[in-house]
Amino acid sequence: MSHTLTLYRLQQTDSQTDRSQARLKIIQQTLEDDGELRLAKECAEQAEAGFGSAQRTLHQTENAVRDQRIKIEQTESSLYSGSIRNPKELQDLQNDVASLKRHLATLEDRQLEAMVAFDDASAAHKAAQADLQLTTAKALQKNESLAEERDLLLKEVDKLCAERQAITGAIPTDVLENYESLRKQRRGMAVATVTDKACSACGTTLTPMQVQNVFMAADLTYCPTCSRILYGG
């Protein structure tokens, strides 16, 4: 059957190599795509910054409330110590105490708001950290699995390349060049099988004489429509 069978085997080898190479490309793109992990890291960093800011604000309001209470205690101590007897001075101290207490109420409101904001920031920080840990673990597991698949595919491609070299050694140069040209023209498929008296690649129905030529002729037979080499099996 001329070189048809050898070319068909070469086509099978090349097709398997193409599939493996395509999968290797996808694996490499997936391994390089760390968008999900990068987003989780960014969210964790933002949450950590927000937590730190809320913590500082809370400490500031706590210190402000503490300092204000000290001022009130000192002012009230002077007011009730008995050392000041001038009515106007006493009245001024009473006014100072009242003013200090009003400002204390404002500071305590700010402290309460800071406490709520701190609790929210703390919860967001913990959630972001947990999400980052989970995303990191998933990425490591996925990458490990893909790396294992990649290594197997690389070994398979090496094996297929060796098989291809052995096959092409038995094919005349002009025939091989024709095959390679068809591969480029027909998206990697230079040889098509005859299935139900039709070309399996383009579906063209073959005449009885064409089918007979595929199975009996010494020369290569081509599909009249897509020009692929036909193999009868």
Q: Where are the domains of the chain?
A: 4-10+172-231, 34-168
Fold of 34-168: Helix Hairpins (1.10.287)
For the chain, the three-class secondary structure string (H helix, E strand, C coil) is: CCCHHHHHHHHHHHHHHHHHHHHHHHHHHHHHCCHHHHHHHHHHHHHHHHHHHHHHHHHHHHHHHHHHHHHHHHHHHHHHCCCCCCHHHHHHHHHHHHHHHHHHHHHHHHHHHHHHHHHHHHHHHHHHHHHHHHHHHHHHHHHHHHHHHHHHHHHHHHHHHHHHHHHHCCCCHHHHHHHHHHHHHCCCCCEEEEECCEECCCCCECCHHHHHHHHHCCCCCECCCCCCEEECC
This prediction has a pTM of: 0.68
10-residue mean pLDDT profile of the chain (233 residues): values are 86 97 94 92 96 97 97 90 85 92 96 97 97 95 94 97 95 95 96 95 95 87 96 86
